[in-house]
């Protein structure tokens, strides 16, 4: 990897070893961005203290810094070394080194990003909508963020298991199946709105359940039949699952989400594993009967009065819980899927649930040092009024309608923005769809996933600022240079030279793509990648405004700038693709 921060860290460590002995070889060289140079090594200050303790006499950090510099071998990549202030070592990279490394990025099919040296099998659980319920904007967010996390891990060479933990089991299915019988199974087959309008279907079932005792009785008996695996009941249940799956897939397709039917492992999938999971927890003495229910009490979780908080594993009526399914899921992933990491991309309100389920799993020995589980929390989506996003009537916002509105708004923003007039109606429609969807996805990904954000279509679809359309347009602008110059980006081979400040900044940015991806993967935070892509586009804009490409002063400069354009285009497109943001060829 050519990230100068790492290259320099290794060199400073070598200097530390040479100056003070091999035991200093893995001290943290404290490399930081610098105001006065590209980077600075701040290790001399903590090191002076350490040496003072060892040598028993006062050590001047500036002298320690000088000793490091005397042993520092960086002439191949650093143009200037300077000791400043109390002992900071300022390091200015050489233009030739930056240019050479950028050339390496250009020449590498992976843009200088290595595959992980320690690939893991990772479950990324995301989207997880509920059968017979409309997906809401919270599911939109878990879907978009989870998909990007999965794409990034994939790219880094991990073995990713995408997992859609659909809510397809439990007591509501009694009333839903009975309501399906009332409406008629053929209505589902015809895709009639009495069934396919999931919100209306659910509400109608609920209303009958609450007001008609006979219906409620049928629903309860149906739950028993479902849990017993009665064939006819399972057939009806499957019809409901299929209607919902078709609906989920239309949303995934429109969003360009990589989930397929094969990734669905809903709650029902773990039904047969619940009893053995509970038996294991009982055998290990973790699950105990408390007030008729079987509970686990993970240490450290207490209620308001300091009383231990239970995870209810089996209710007093013998039924299992949401938590039981999650425990069975973890056990399955560890025992059968043999995963090393599980990332749950789920709303922040479920934080306590996951903490407690993870704690019980650690007690059971399913999670430990070798297997890591983490809740990648997703913050709420708010309306422009700062409250949870709702329709004007106060209902939950339908996803499809939200996306339609985004595309419509994108169309207006696009038409106002100077557009290419050789583009016909069909291409415009395709572009506008990509801009609208890209705007929504990018807005979601560019804020840290656990913070709330305001769903403001005007801001999201703007071509200015940190938005999807701005980034899409940056790629289009690069493509148009190649089109105008009659050159293919694949033929822009350089060599890259760095002379102008804007060329230098752009080339330097290209070198840190891999580090950013690794950090985003480690923390399951795609906004780090979004920020990088935005910074890269800004660096490109400065370059574009200052450094003519096709009208460069000479042929060597032109070839170098075309190569910088090509490397930027590929890095931007790859970055946006890993965010799941589509990029039109023209706009």
- Shortest Å distance, C-beta 396 to ligand ARG: 12
Q: Which residues contact 420 (CB under 8 A, 6 or more apart)?
A: 586, 587
- Shortest Å distance, C-beta 279 to ligand ARG: 21
Among 59, 128, 227, 361, binds ligand ARG (CB under 6 A): 128
CB closer to ligand ARG out of 333 and 528: 333
Q: What are the backbone angles phi and psi of residue 212, rounded to the nearest 5°? A: -115, 105
Pairwise CA distance, residues 123 & 118, whole Å: 16
Looking at beta carbons, which pairs linking 231-234 to residues 24 or more positions away fall under 8 Å? 233/177
- Shortest Å distance, C-beta 463 to ligand ARG: 34
Pairwise CA distance, residues 476 & 580, whole Å: 17
Residue 134 lies near ligand ARG (rule: CB under 6 A): no
Residue 326 lies near ligand ARG (rule: CB under 6 A): yes
Q: Which residues contact 287 (CB under 8 A, 6 or more apart)?
A: 278, 281, 294, 295, 296, 313, 314
CB closer to ligand ARG out of 148 and 164: 164
CB closer to ligand ARG out of 167 and 411: 167
- Shortest Å distance, C-beta 120 to ligand ARG: 20
Instruction: Report the 3 state secondary structure along 230-298.
Output: CHHHHHHHHHHHHHHHHHHHHHHHHHCCCCCHHHECCHHHHHHHHHHHHHHHHHCCCEEEECCEEEECC
Residue 149 lies near ligand ARG (rule: CB under 6 A): no
DSSP bridge partners of 453: 381
Pairwise CA distance, residues 476 & 470, whole Å: 10
Among 42, 130, 148, 467, binds ligand ARG (CB under 6 A): 130
Q: What are the backbone angles phi and psi of residue 442, rounded to the nearest 5°? A: -65, -40
CB closer to ligand ARG out of 165 and 222: 165
The answer to whether 341 and 120 have CB atoms below 8 angstroms apart is yes
CB closer to ligand ARG out of 136 and 558: 136
Q: Give the binding-site size for ligand ARG (rule: CB under 6 A).
A: 9
CB closer to ligand ARG out of 125 and 263: 125
CB closer to ligand ARG out of 367 and 516: 367
Q: What are the backbone angles phi and psi of residue 297, rounded to the nearest 5°? A: -120, 90
- For residue 88, the SS3 value is strand
CB closer to ligand ARG out of 125 and 134: 125
CB closer to ligand ARG out of 373 and 516: 373
Site string for ligand ARG, 83-122 (x = CB under 6 A): ----------------------------------------
Looking at 125-133, 191-199, 201-209, 390-398, which segment touches ligand ARG (CB under 6 A)? Answer: 125-133
CB closer to ligand ARG out of 124 and 435: 124
How many contiguous H segments (helices) and E segments (strands) does the chain have? 22, 13
- Shortest Å distance, C-beta 165 to ligand ARG: 4
The answer to whether 586 and 427 have CB atoms below 8 angstroms apart is yes
Give residues 327-346 in contact with ligand ARG (rule: CB under 6 A): 344, 346
Looking at 123-131, 235-243, 447-455, 499-507, which segment touches ligand ARG (CB under 6 A)? Answer: 123-131
Site string for ligand ARG, 272-311 (x = CB under 6 A): ----------------------------------------
Which residue, chain included where needed, has tokens 């009694």? 174
DSSP state of 368: S
The answer to whether 84 and 44 have CB atoms below 8 angstroms apart is no
CB closer to ligand ARG out of 170 and 575: 170
Which residue, chain included where needed, has tokens 């250009």? 106
Radius of gyration of the chain, Cα coordinates, nearest whole angstrom: 29
What burial class does residue 54 get, using C-beta atoms within 10 Å of its C-beta: 0-12 exposed, 13-18 middle, 19+ buried?
A: exposed
Residue 375 lies near ligand ARG (rule: CB under 6 A): no
Write the DSSP assignment of 178-208 as a string of letters.
Answer: HHHHHH-HHHHHTT-HHHHSHHHHHHHHHHH
Residue 165 lies near ligand ARG (rule: CB under 6 A): yes
- Shortest Å distance, C-beta 125 to ligand ARG: 6
- Shortest Å distance, C-beta 266 to ligand ARG: 9
The closest residue (CB) to ligand ARG is 167
CB closer to ligand ARG out of 129 and 174: 129
Residue 167 lies near ligand ARG (rule: CB under 6 A): yes
CB closer to ligand ARG out of 13 and 143: 143
Residue 562 lies near ligand ARG (rule: CB under 6 A): no
The answer to whether 65 and 83 have CB atoms below 8 angstroms apart is yes
- Shortest Å distance, C-beta 400 to ligand ARG: 17
Q: Which residues bind ligand ARG (CB under 6 A)?
A: 125, 128-130, 165, 167, 326, 344, 346
């Amino acid at each position: 990897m050519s990230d100068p921060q790492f290259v320099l860290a290794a060199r400073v460590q070598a200097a530390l070893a040479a100056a003070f002995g091999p035991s200093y070889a893995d001290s943290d060289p404290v490399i930081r961005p610098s105001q006065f140079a590209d980077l600075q090594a701040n290790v001399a200050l903590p090191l002076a203290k350490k040496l003072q303790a060892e040598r028993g006499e006062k050590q001047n950090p500036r002298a320690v810094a000088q000793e490091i510099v005397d042993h520092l071998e960086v002439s191949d990549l650093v143009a200037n070394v300077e000791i400043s202030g109390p002992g900071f070592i300022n390091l200015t990279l050489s233009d030739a080194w930056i240019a050479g490394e950028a050339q390496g990025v250009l020449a590498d099919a992976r843009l200088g990003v290595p595959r992980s040296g320690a690939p893991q099998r990772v479950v990324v659980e995301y989207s997880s909508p509920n059968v017979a319920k409309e997906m809401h904007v919270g599911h939109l967010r878990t879907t978009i963020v989870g998909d990007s996390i999965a794409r990034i891990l994939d790219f880094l060479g991990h073995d990713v298991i995408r997992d859609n933990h659909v809510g397809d089991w439990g007591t509501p299915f009694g009333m839903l199946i009975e309501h399906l019988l009332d409406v008629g199974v053929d209505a589902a087959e015809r895709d009639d709105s009495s069934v396919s309008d999931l919100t209306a279907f659910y509400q109608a079932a609920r209303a009958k359940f609450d007001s008609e005792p006979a219906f409620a009785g049928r629903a309860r008996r149906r739950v028993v039949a479902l849990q017993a695996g009665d064939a006819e009941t399972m057939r009806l249940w499957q019809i409901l699952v299929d209607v919902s799956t078709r609906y989920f897939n239309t949303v995934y397709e429109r969003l360009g989400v990589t989930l397929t039917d094969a990734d669905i492992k809903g709650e029902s999938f773990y039904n047969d594993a619940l009893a053995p999971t509970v038996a294991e927890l009982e055998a290990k003495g973790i699950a105990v009967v408390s007030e008729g229910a079987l509970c686990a009490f993970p240490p450290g979780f207490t209620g308001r009065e300091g009383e231990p908080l239970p995870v209810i594993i089996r209710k007093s009526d013998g039924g299992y819980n949401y938590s039981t399914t999650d425990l069975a899921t973890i056990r399955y992933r560890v025992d059968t899927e043999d995963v090393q990491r599980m990332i749950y991309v789920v709303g922040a309100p479920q934080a306590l649930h996951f903490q407690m389920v993870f704690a019980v799993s650690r007690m059971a020995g399913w999670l430990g040092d070798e297997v890591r589980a983490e809740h990648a929390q997703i913050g709420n989506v708010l309306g422009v009024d700062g409250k949870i996003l709702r329709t004007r009537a106060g209902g939950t916002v339908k996803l499809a309608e939200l996306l339609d509105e985004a595309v419509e708004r994108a169309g207006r923003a696009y038409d106002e923005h100077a557009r290419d007039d050789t583009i016909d109606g069909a291409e415009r429609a395709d572009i506008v769809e990509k801009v609208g969807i890209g705007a929504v996805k990018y807005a979601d990904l560019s804020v840290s996933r656990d913070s709330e954000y305001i769903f403001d279509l005007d801001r999201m679809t703007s071509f200015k600022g940190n938005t999807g359309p701005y980034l899409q347009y940056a790629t289009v602008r690069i493509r148009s240079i190649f089109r105008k110059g009659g050159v293919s980006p694949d033929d822009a081979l350089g060599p890259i030279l760095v002379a102008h400040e804007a060329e230098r900044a752009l080339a330097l940015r290209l070198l840190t793509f891999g580090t950013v991806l690794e950090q985003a993967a480690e923390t399951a935070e795609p906004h780090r990648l979004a920020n990088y892509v935005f910074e890269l586009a800004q660096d490109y804009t400065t370059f574009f405004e200052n450094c003519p490409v096709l009208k460069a002063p000479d042929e060597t400069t032109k070839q170098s700038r075309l190569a910088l354009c090509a490397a930027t285009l590929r890095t931007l497109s790859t970055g946006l693709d890993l965010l799941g943001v589509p990029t039109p060829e023209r706009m």
